[in-house]
Amino acid sequence: MESLAENRILIPSDAPRRQEIEEALRNEGWMPLPYRDIGEAETKINDAAAKAILLSGPGDDTLSLEFVKKVRTTCPQTFVVGVGEKRHEDGPDTMLHESCTPADVTTAIRLGAALHAARVSERALRSELNSAQKVVRAQGLRIQELEASCQSLKKWAHTAQALALRDELTQLYNRRFFFQTAAQQLERSRREQSRFAVAMIDIDFFKAYNDTYGHVAGDHALRWLAQILLGNFRRMDTVARYGGEEFIALLPETHNAPASTSFDPVAFLERVREAVAQTPLPHPNQPNETAQITISAGVVQYPDGGENIDDLVHKADQRLYHAKESGRNRVVGTDPADQDDETQDANTAT
């Protein structure tokens, strides 16, 4: 029954040689259903879907052309074979001349069915193509959004990483970055048999300054000193805030030789100390008043001061402590015992 329903074809009840056409159609496996007018054809299509309809006079009959349009809209699986003199671009799928034979009708219907199936497939493919294009466009927009989000995340990650390695108050590097850089420098120096120095720097009498002027002024002093340090250390040096009022610096490519081309880290720290001592510190809330801040520093070189970073930092900190015990506002680059030996040797020579 389903195959018969699929092979229904409507033919005009007044079609010439109708009985012969119906017999030829039955031989082709069709189930002819006659209709008297367009209204009855439309009713029969609505009641029982037909695969094809034979339509007379669609070339000139406006009512017939409107019916063809309606069939294509409401029953896209139904194809129309027209019999008439004229063709119309909105007319049936296949046209037959009025003098056609029943064999011509069956041949036209066979060809019309194939053409209609091709058109239905084309429409389905175009619909799928349009849907795919919409999906591709949507995916393209999504990819653009994801790329923009990825770029934002990269910028955020870069900023977050930079912030994670910076001291929030002074914007100098923090301890973590210093030790990472120092570990890399240690490996490089071991490989190249080169020297580098570590310097611990501390603000003299900073607690008294804080107690006198307040912590806001103390924070201002720390930022001020950070800028002076950045302005005086070399680009290759790493300056970081160690904690509180203490700072630490890594100075690569140092030498002990007294030649004019060599780099002496102790003499260099002396110049930094003088720059700090000679630069007045303006008060944040009293711009017409200034204060004088000095620093003390302890300097140690690799490999003389230790074979690893912890030893070097510990030795530099000991020399910083000795600088403070010796009166502050000075740089110490040797151990107290070494200084005593040098003094004793000088006295003996005298």
pTM exceeding 0.75 = no
Give domain 175-349's CATH architecture. 2-Layer Sandwich (3.30)
Q: Tell me what pLDDT residue 299 has.
A: 97
Sign of the Cα pseudo-torsion (214, 220, 226, 227, in order): negative
> Cα(321)–Cα(318) distance, rounded to whole angstroms?
5
Q: What count of other Cβ atoms lies within 10 Å of the Cβ of residue 201?
A: 27
Work out the burial of residue 214: count CB atoms within 10 Å of its CB; fewer than 13 is exposed, 13-18 middle, 19 or more buried.
Answer: middle
Domain ranges of the chain: 2-125, 175-349
pLDDT (tens digit, 9 = 90+) per residue, 51-68? Answer: 788 777 554 556 567 777
User: In the annotation, is 245 catalytic?
Assistant: yes
Same fold? 2-125, 175-349 = no
Q: Which of 29-33, 207-211, 346-350 has the lowest mean pLDDT?
A: 346-350
Listing DSSP states for 54-116 in one string gives: EEE-TTT-HHHHHHHHHHHHH-TT-EEEEESS---TTS-SEEE-TT--HHHHHHHHHHHHHHH
Q: Percent of the chain scored above 90 by pLDDT?
A: 39
Residue type for 211, please? D
Helix (H, G, I), strand (E, B) or coil at 227: helix
Average pLDDT over residues 290-312: 94
Query: Mean pLDDT across the stretch 97-103?
Result: 76
Q: Which of 23, 66, 245, 289 is catalytic?
A: 245
Rounded Cα distance between 316 and 202, Å, is 11
How far is 44 from 27, CA to CA, in rounded Å? 22
Give the architecture-level CATH label for domain 2-125: 3-Layer(aba) Sandwich (3.40)
pLDDT in the model for residue 1: 37
Give the number of other CB atoms < 10 A from CB of residue 89. 5
Instruction: Record the tokens describing residue 130, joined without a space.
Output: 């349009």
- Using alpha carbons, list the distances in angstroms from residue 82 to 52, 85, 103, 192, 302: 11, 10, 15, 95, 102
Please determine, for residue 256, whether its predicted confidence score (pLDDT) is greater than 70: no
Task: State yes or no: pLDDT of 341 exceeds 70.
Answer: no
